Amino acid sequence: MSAQPSFFWHDYETFGIRPQRDRPAQFAGIRTDLELNEIGTPVEWFCQPSNDFLPDPESILITGITPQQAATRGLPEAEFVARIHAELATPGTCGLGYNTLRFDDELSRHLFWRNLIDPYGREWQQGCSRWDLLDCVRATYAFRPEGIVWPQREDESGLVSFKLEQLSQANGLAHEAAHDALSDVRATIALARLIKQQQPRLFDFCFKLRKKEAVAEEIGAYDGRPLLHVSGMYPASQGCLALVAAIAAHPVNKNEVPVWDLQHDPAELFDLDADTLRRRLFTRSSELAEGETRIPIKTVHLNKSPVVVGNLKVLSAERAEQLQIDLHHGRANASKLAGLLAQHGVSLANKLKQVYSREQNLAARDVDEALYDGFIADPDRRLLEQCRAASPSQLAGMALNFKDSRLEELVYRYRARNWPETLNEAEQARWLAHRSARLLDGAHGYLNLDTLHEKLAALREQRSEDERAQALLDALEAFAEQQTEDLL
């Protein structure tokens, strides 16, 4: 009997904006059935900050959550993470939220990594999957905007805003406290209900695209066939929409497909050498020579629920004109690209191997962020599972013979953050040295005490009339002193 499918809508509030290194402050989740009816009880947990990091002050000003509040109300990270994983790994669960694929899922993966849990299993095992409402919202605006009020950005540009807070307000959806995790989750569900009610076929189509096979089917062969692609990489002025064509298999990552923006003549893709292509693809526009432009290639990530549509009739001529998408011009470039691929497709594929070849990064990466340095072999994964099943005292006495060089340090930090009382004298000294390197010296680019003081001073001056901000900054300064008092 297969598991009952459900959505688990969730959101993190964090102490920074970099999911691979910054820490969670709060997590909230609500489970619904596929018709978006709530089932079960909402969950909300805070996470106790460990003593080897400093929060970013701007994040605290946004969320209003101080590290002291998280310490008082929160769980140790190991327990916090175990609870989250249990929800996301419940058989049949599709984990999702608003911008979860690019932020929350990366945060979850790195949390699971630091806490010895398989970072990927909950995304595909036992009927589980992941999705993200954000690109579905963008697709609704691009293809079927009727029935929804689309707010404008606050910068007077006149462009549409996809901010959850503004969409909620414009459409009369409950959103009691932006940047409170549970409130954000409820607002996301309300927005999903609105789209599902107004554009049910589009909602279901986007949901189907959480499966790589469905995405690959829409893309088809690498033969120049035009596709509609919705992505935040394209300007909001054109509805985050572009007419593109897949040009080749990605030579390094099987989950990516390079696509060409058909607003542009594809001839230069074949005329330029690999070095020039690489430079113009990976260099910022501001750093290119005068008169040079970036190459209009982006990659579609098959495993990140991209909105790709093979049926161009989905975009009406009227809507294309509104978004300034020139379908006639795009089709002409697609026809030209198809001819060039038929003649030179093999040589282009070889050229792309050089373009996408990854130079080995010789700089040592901190183990907390080394998730993507390689998959864990099965024997090491089983040993990590034994570590998680052990009591703190048992774990302290285990002989760990990992094949993967990252894992001994990872397990040691897992112990030090969650059960420091189990560290022996040498391990305590080692942890003190780690904390000093990170909190005082800013090792591996982590926020250190001196930089934090500079940020606090600048923000105090900017927010001199804001009593709430001053109180939050005072709380963070007191926390930073507490975090470092045994190091100074």
Predicted local confidence at residue 136, as pLDDT: 98
Q: State in words which class domain 212-356 has.
A: alpha beta
Taking Cα atoms as reference points, which of 201, 199, 45 lies closest to residue 111? Answer: 45
Predicted local confidence at residue 238, as pLDDT: 97
Question: Is 56 annotated as ligand-binding?
Answer: no
Mean pLDDT value across residues 380-390: 97
**What pLDDT, in 10s, does the model give residues 104-158?**
999 999 999 999 999 999 999 999 999 999 999 999 999 999 999 999 998 878 8
* Cα angle 419-421-425, degrees, rounded to a multiple of 5: 125
Return the bridge partners of 12, or none. Answer: 27
For residues 116 and 84, the answer to whether their CB atoms sit within 8 Å is no
Question: Is 163 annotated as ligand-binding?
Answer: yes
Q: Where are the domains of the chain?
A: 6-207, 212-356, 367-484
**What pLDDT, in 10s, does the model give residues 37-84?**
999 999 999 999 999 999 999 999 999 999 999 999 999 999 999 999
Mutual angle of helices 77-88 and 105-114, in 10-degree steps: 130
Q: Note the pTM of the prediction, 2 decimals.
A: 0.94
Of residues 408 and 176, more confidence is placed in 408
Rounded Cα distance between 33 and 4, Å, is 9
360 pLDDT tier (thresholds 50, 70, 90): low
Question: Is 313 annotated as ligand-binding?
Answer: no
CATH topology of domain 6-207: Nucleotidyltransferase; domain 5 (3.30.420)
**What pLDDT, in 10s, does the model give residues 306-343?**
999 999 999 999 999 999 999 999 999 999 999 999 99
289 pLDDT tier (thresholds 50, 70, 90): confident
**pLDDT score of 16 more than 60:** yes
Mean pLDDT value across residues 434-439: 98
**What is the CATH code for 367-484?**
1.20.1280.70
**pLDDT score of 353 more than 80:** yes
* Side-chain-facing half-sphere of 484: CA atoms under 13 Å: 23
**pLDDT score of 362 more than 50:** no
